[in-house]
Amino acid sequence: MTNDNVKQALRDLFPDPEPVVEAATDAEAEGDKKKPAGKKEEPRINGLIERDHAVHGYDIDVQLDPGELLAAVMIINKAGFFIESITGVDWIKEEQLEVVYDFSRYDFDTCRIVIRTRTPRSEPKVPTISKIYPGANWHERETHDFFGIKFDGHPHLIPLLLPEDADFHPLLKDFKP
């Protein structure tokens, strides 16, 4: 499958092809409608952003709900991508945790996909992708250790790096040692 086919398959996950309208920048809000020199708009379709790999380090950035995660990961897997990493981000002010998945292919020098999904901080859980990518098992355990995100359906979600009796998650922004 070519890069274009993968992008189209990911676009097909989002039924509404209307572009997302971004909030105005400070300069636009003050009446300066000029765009910065050399800045081009990024194509965006309901949470899918195509990026310039040379600038961002990846080609597609997808924001989706946890319920859409497995469908997107299956498309990526069928297209021959492998999982590079899984990590978390604590958006404490928004009371959310984000899980970030990085995928790549060996046969393309510049084809990387980032998938992001957010979950409430009060009950952080997303489905496991370890049934699709067995190597994700360890990444999900590490993300659970440090952020407390539960991966529903994970076969062995026990601490990987923290003590087995740890009742804390050290990468949460409100963590106090």
The pTM of the full predicted model, rounded to 2 decimals, is 0.73
Q: 88 has which bridge partners?
A: 99
Q: Contact 136/130 with Cβ under 8 angstroms? A: yes
Name the average pLDDT for the chain: 78
CB contact burial 93-116 (16+ within 10 A = b; e otherwise): eeeebbbebbbbbeeeeebbbbbe
Domain ranges within the chain, ordered by starting residue: 3-19+43-152
Segment 25-42, tens digit of pLDDT: 454 445 544 444 444 445
pLDDT band at residue 4, thresholds of 50, 70 and 90? low
- What CATH number has the domain spanning 3-19+43-152? 3.30.460.80
